[in-house]
Chain A
Amino acid sequence: MRLSKLLIPVILVVAVFSSACVGFSEPRGWAAPVFDGETVYVFLDRDEFVAANLDEFGAEWSWTFPDDDLDAEKEFDLEAVYGPPLFAGDRIILAGFSGEMVALGPEGRFIAGRGSWWRDDVNGSIVGGATLAGDRFVFGTTEQRLYVRNVVDGGAVAPWPIDGRKLKGEIWSQPVVVDNIMYVGTMDGNLYAFDLESGQALWTRPFEAGGAIADLAHIGDGTLFVPTLRGQVWLVDAETGAALRDPFEAEGWVWTRPVIRDGVAYFGDFEDLVYAWDMDSGRTLWTYRAENKVKAQGVIIDETLIVGDESGTVHFVDLASGVRRNAVKLDGAGKIRAGLVEKEGFAWILGTEGRLYRADPATLTVIEREVRGAP
């Protein structure tokens, strides 16, 4: 037998498998849609940022960034966007997984040159997105760096270094800013608090969550909601950095923010469960089983909790009992990873296939709201 005859098919099979592998975990992003009056801003595909005007049928496309017909925008590559766009005065700031940041004008146009509109590259990938804090914005990267920049030209803000402050772990969560204090969680399980003005750490040592912190939320009354990929959820005192009670033990990873009502946190995990956790008593009021992992933050409208899971199913759950009122599988939506958004009594849902839906808790139905005219 000739060895080459054996090698050639082996090589071909390797090549086929290899080429198939290249795409299976490429970043696609999961930024939630943002509404500003009757305009919706949404990422329809990876870094294709679209503004559209809402109407009774869906939304009429207005503009797209980057516009491939414009030379100044051709070279942009945000790769994928996971955090929401920031609206700072008349500009929109986008932070991409590629580590590229860009500020756009009101019509979504990039104008080259620092000073008015700008772009910048940072060290590492931006996963959680940036947070606006007055005339500054803050964000972290997978290269363990924490940045504070000004919204005017994206430049450094003293005493924060231009190339970011190095922490011990990767930063995947979107930082939280409350009363000029910035809170940021890292993937090595530490939660930090910094004074934005002085850059000083607020706590004597970071809070140790015991598992990777991929998301973070401030739920009012000086309390931080700290979920971990170990399945524990902590409530942390924002002032002292101490745990307020024993952690909640979920079945799987918790990589989402909660929706809160009357002291109860509603959130899902990666073992397909949705929990109603009474944060005062520490009791679990109910659990609800979805069809798949629950990554997206839900919304509460009237007495209905609406959550989406990674099978592309939207669940209408009775808030008091945790009983399913209806579940709608969205064909062609892909996975629901972007947080749901409440607007005027409806829940808006964006699937990973870039299709926009509107869930009605009154009729327990979901309809697609197409963005028409997008190139």
Chain B
Amino acid sequence: MITAVPQRALLGLALIGGVALVFAIATFGFGKTFTVGLLDPMINVLVVLNHALWGSFGLAVIAFTILVRLVTFPLTMRQLQQTRAMQALQPRVQEIQKKFTDPKRRQEEMMKAYREAGVNPLGCLGPLVLQFPILIALFYAIRQTLAISPEALDNLSGHLYSWSYIQSAIPLEESFIGINLAEGASISVLNLNLLVVVLVGFSTWAQSKTTVTVATDERARTQQQMMTWMLPIMFMFFGLSFPSGVSLYWVVTSFVSVGLNVMVYGFPALNIPPLVGPPNPPAPVEAAASVSSEGSGQTRSRPSRELRTSTHGSRRSKRKNRRRRA
């Protein structure tokens, strides 16, 4: 079973990385740090992959996207599992929201519930934020490497390492199975570039459909449903103006996300169960399902239907339930 990387190790790495990053930014500035630390290595790996994969930049983009997703896999898994845990906690969150009218008290109870369930409400945000610079750099790297103009090729020279293996690979072939990776698409021209834009929309939609929603009320759910359609349209719009190489990256990374989503959340519409178990030790049922009575300070326990679902059930909970029944 795939489990999250131990939290302490992640925290340690994040701390070291954070200190190094702050030091680099303070010394060299943000732009230089971003370029030297992320953009340049990515561009050079892309060029090396292109050279190794028979001079096909399309294959290089696909391989590189998968490579990056592999490197960021622990972060992605942590984000997905935190999101799933958040979802599982929603019934209790709703209960707290109904029960407590005092915002301060409500917040305290919510935090308590999160703590008891071993969920960090920002846990799904952190890995996403950490991945974001990587995704932005990747985006720039593909655009830069494609060198869609003489100026771009001139600029590219400043990003390449001086190894002859890399130097001799320039310029890169823009065509990939009939797709011109350096050019965008036009609605008025039916070609494979336009097909890539359609795939951008489809893969973004598929990604949204396989993502677990963390909504506490009907309004939020409606918003999320709207986003399921808005996002693909927006990314298709981007895809029309961007070189198809960038769109290809988006298609591949979206399909990888779909695979990971199905692996972690399952896909009920097709009766696909989750392949990966919950990340954290399960919370005790009494603790997870207990809600303090407002004003009394007393705690009452009652079974929580939502927390006994297969995604949140646990041996420990069952054992406690058996004890309670006995």
Known: A26-B151, A270-B157. A211 touches B167 (CB 8 A): yes
Question: Is B139 in contact with A21, judged by CB distance below 8 angstroms?
Answer: yes
Question: Is B155 in contact with A25, judged by CB distance below 8 angstroms?
Answer: yes
Q: How many residues of B contact A (CB 8 A)?
A: 43
Question: Is A230 in contact with B164, judged by CB distance below 8 angstroms?
Answer: yes
B216 on the interface (CB 8 Å rule)? yes
Question: Is A212 in contact with B149, judged by CB distance below 8 angstroms?
Answer: no
Complex interface: stretch among A4-12, A51-59, A324-332, A339-347? A4-12
B53 on the interface (CB 8 Å rule)? no
Q: How many residues of A contact B (CB 8 A)?
A: 44
Question: Is B86 in contact with A82, judged by CB distance below 8 angstroms?
Answer: no
Question: Is B171 in contact with A212, judged by CB distance below 8 angstroms?
Answer: yes
Known: A1-B214, A25-B149. A212 touches B170 (CB 8 A): yes
Interface positions, chain A 1-28, Cβ under 8 Å from B, are: 1-4, 6-7, 10-11, 13-14, 17-18, 21-22, 24-28
A295 on the interface (CB 8 Å rule)? yes
Complex interface: stretch among B191-199, B220-228, B260-268? B220-228
A170 contacts across to B, CB distance below 8 A: 171
Interface positions, chain A 240-281, Cβ under 8 Å from B, are: 251-253, 255, 270-271
Interface centre among A21, A24, A30, A270 (most CB of B within 10 A): A21
B321 on the interface (CB 8 Å rule)? no
Distance of A276 Cα from B136 Cα, bound (Å)? 42
Residue interface bits B237-268, CB-to-A below 8 A is 1, else 0: 01001100000000000000000000000000
B227 contacts across to A, CB distance below 8 A: 3-4, 7
A139 on the interface (CB 8 Å rule)? no
Distance of A42 Cα from B140 Cα, bound (Å)? 33
Distance of A127 Cα from B122 Cα, bound (Å)? 51
Question: Is A252 in contact with B150, judged by CB distance below 8 angstroms?
Answer: no
Residue of A21, A211, A230, A255 near B154 (CB, 8 A) is A255
Question: Is B242 in contact with A18, judged by CB distance below 8 angstroms?
Answer: yes
A148 contacts across to B, CB distance below 8 A: none
Interface positions, chain B 122-161, Cβ under 8 Å from A, are: 122, 124-125, 128, 132, 136, 139-140, 143-144, 147-155, 157-158
A127 contacts across to B, CB distance below 8 A: 150
A97 on the interface (CB 8 Å rule)? yes
A33 on the interface (CB 8 Å rule)? no
A305 on the interface (CB 8 Å rule)? no
Question: Is A26 in contact with B149, judged by CB distance below 8 angstroms?
Answer: yes
B91 on the interface (CB 8 Å rule)? no
Residue of A18, A21, A293 near B158 (CB, 8 A) is A293
Question: Is B148 in contact with A17, judged by CB distance below 8 angstroms?
Answer: no
Residue of B132, B140, B151, B157 near A21 (CB, 8 A) is B140
Question: Is A3 in contact with B214, judged by CB distance below 8 angstroms?
Answer: yes
B154 contacts across to A, CB distance below 8 A: 255, 270, 293, 295, 310, 337
B168 on the interface (CB 8 Å rule)? yes
B255 to chain A, nearest CB (A): 18
B86 contacts across to A, CB distance below 8 A: 1
Distance of A233 Cα from B122 Cα, bound (Å)? 57
Q: Give A79's nearest chain B residue, CB to CB.
A: B149
B242 contacts across to A, CB distance below 8 A: 18, 21-22
Residues of B within 8 A of A (CB): 86, 121-122, 124-125, 128, 132, 136, 139-140, 143-144, 147-155, 157-158, 162, 164, 167-168, 170-171, 211, 213-216, 220, 223-224, 227, 231, 234, 238, 241-242
20 A-B residue pairings within 8 Å (CB atoms): A1-B121, A3-B211, A3-B215, A3-B227, A4-B227, A7-B231, A11-B234, A21-B140, A21-B242, A27-B151, A28-B151, A127-B150, A172-B150, A211-B170, A229-B171, A230-B164, A252-B157, A253-B157, A253-B167, A337-B154
Residues of A within 8 A of B (CB): 1-4, 6-7, 10-11, 13-14, 17-18, 21-22, 24-28, 30, 80, 82, 97, 127, 170, 172, 187, 210-212, 214, 229-231, 251-253, 255, 270-271, 293, 295, 310, 337
Q: Give me 7 other A-B pairs in contact (C-beta within 8 A), A7-B231, A30-B150 excluded.
A: A10-B132, A22-B242, A214-B153, A252-B157, A270-B157, A271-B162, A295-B154
